[in-house]
Chain A
Amino acid sequence: MNTKPMNTKPMSTDLDVEVLDPRHDPEPAYWAALRARAGLRADWAWDMLGTSAWLARLPLLVAVLHRAGAPVGVATGTYSGLPYHPKRFVPVRGGPLVGVWHVRAPASSALPGWWLDDGLTVRDVLRCRPAIGRGCAGVLLRQVGPEDLAVLPARARLVRPTEPTWTLPVHDVGDVTEWIGGLRRKRRAHLRATWRETNDDQRIVVDVATASTTDPAEVAHLLRHNENKYHGRFSPLPTAAGYLGALMRRDDVLTVTYRDRDTSALLAVGVTLDHPRWPMPRYWSMLPVERGGVRNAYFHHLTVLVDWAIGNGKQGLLLGKGKSEVKESLGAVPTEQSAVLVVR
């Protein structure tokens, strides 16, 4: 097991905390097994965490909980605070002088940033705070569900409801036609028309494949269209082709591509992180329709993924946050979420 005396703090209980910086620390020997056991997607692979951490504004830190020398829980988050430079990457060493540990999944704001073995609760994540940094004044937990909220300390906390996350169960439908048939009338008609028209469109070629068959630079270029639409001071940084390249080389990542049949130009793309039960569409972007994009490609892409998920025996798809009305119309189910700040 990889333990580092400087970063490891014994706790008052039988748990030890090990804090790792994926930019500088080598992959712990237990990491691959821990990730598999916890069902953490490709963006939790150690090399992906390292790339994410280098391409972040703030230090990304991973805290591992150990019991009797074995890892029993993990949490990841950025050490967010001041000084903050929105247009600069994190310095090679050091970080905020004062701040909070902002716990969330490494490349997605839609999932919790922790996994805990049986017998542990999210309250145990709070034990990591002293090891994060001297100026760390608290822990900000994102995507806290009602059950987790109940175990957090009632005092010294601030709770704010956030957008729900949406899951689209498909385990109880036989095929994509049955799934579409179970939707409300208006969406049903729309999806049937989109499915038929896009499949019959001789101008484009739709391909579902392991992501390594797609050029990440091409995908990054296309993602800029979507990222520019939602750009703001605190919005996530643009997705770098290098990060995508490392992600897309992995076996457990999938792309749905829409290409011009004549020129092979990439018109739209979706990148999905696979999972034994709940794959997650992570990136989506398309050329605007007026510049040659495919009308309704987003809906066709989701239908393709539903078809793929049913065919591969998945429970369903994690659709993340946002576009609630659209996701509800597709049969997705919301899960209420809160952000909780616990100060020391």
Chain B
Amino acid sequence: MGTSLSTVLWQLTYRAVVRSAFATVPFYREHWALDGRTDPVLVPGRTGRHGGAVDAATVLARRADLVPLAGGEAVVDPLRGLGAVLRRVEPLRTGTLVAVFGADSAPVDLPRGVRGWAVRPDDDVDAVLAQARGPVVAVGPDKQLQLLPDRPHLRRVPLRELDELDRGPHGLLVHPVLGVLAGLADCGRWHVDRTALYLRETDAGLAGTVLRQRSPRLVDTLLGDERVRLSACPRHRGPVLTPGLAR
């Protein structure tokens, strides 16, 4: 990823999150104290497995221990960061309605003037779309988006999983623990929102850290697909996810 100033700041932010998690979050305290970690090593001599990263299933099972000692929520949002990534890949003008299928609640990080709607199974979607005065961005699984009626101001943004990195031309990449990882930009590459997410190589593949979420704290969660690689976009410079060869 190089050594540009933004990359160095990205790494410093990540290290601060790691140290804070070790000092205040029971799961990371116990895991890294007893087993260890790398980059940084927190207890001399203890380097752990996978550099201290853990798989998503373990993180979900231990979510009560992801709350810092100061308290907070233990609910993992599978669409965390949706608003921030979506605005990078879709123009969200004032008056746009963002309809999210499969979410428990509407996204909270949309730009001012953009409304969010968590579509429930029994909602009358056709009626809502017909009444919408501005553009509508529908976000959700491909199957549900294909059922939507064609309308002039409706854009569909499918949610993709890590094994669908080669699909396009639009989309948001999601992970069950880390939420929205990346968005497919106009360059055709999956751009990571580095203000909110840090990614790191381990011997079990990439591990992600949510940088700005106080609780539940999510640090070094394995993406679960060892083929996915982190590189730099030659056009935009930012970090991008690319499908790699199997190890």
User: What residues make up the interface of A, taking CB atoms closer than 8 Å to B?
Assistant: 23, 50-51, 54-55, 86-89, 91-92, 215, 217, 220-221, 224, 237-238, 240-243
Contacts and interface: CB of A to CB of B under 8 A. Distances in A.
A88 B24 contact: yes
Nearest to A85: B23
Contacts of A238: 26, 64-65, 67, 69
Contact of A88 (B42, B64, B67, B69): B69
Given A88-B24, A88-B69, A215-B61, 20 more contacts: A51-B34, A54-B34, A55-B29, A55-B30, A86-B69, A87-B70, A89-B23, A89-B69, A92-B43, A217-B62, A220-B62, A220-B64, A224-B64, A224-B74, A238-B64, A240-B27, A241-B65, A242-B30, A242-B65, A243-B30
A311 to B, nearest CB: 33
Interface string B42-64: 11000000000000000001111
A87 B24 contact: yes
Interface of A, helix, strand, loop or mixed by DSSP: loop
Contact of B64 (A51, A89, A217): A217
Contact of A87 (B22, B62, B69): B69
A238 B72 CA distance: 13
Contact of A89 (B29, B31, B65, B70): B29
Contacts, number: 65
A242 B31 contact: yes
Nearest to A53: B33
A33 to B, nearest CB: 24
Contact of A237 (B23, B26, B43, B63): B26
B42 A92 contact: yes
B26 A55 contact: yes
B30 A237 contact: no
A55 B62 CA distance: 15
Contacts of B64: 217, 220-221, 224, 238, 241
A51 B24 CA distance: 15
B1 to A, nearest CB: 29
Contacts of A237: 26, 69
A240 B30 contact: yes
B208 interface: no
18 contacts: A23-B33, A54-B29, A86-B69, A87-B70, A88-B23, A88-B69, A89-B24, A217-B61, A217-B64, A221-B64, A240-B29, A240-B65, A241-B61, A241-B65, A242-B30, A242-B62, A242-B65, A243-B30
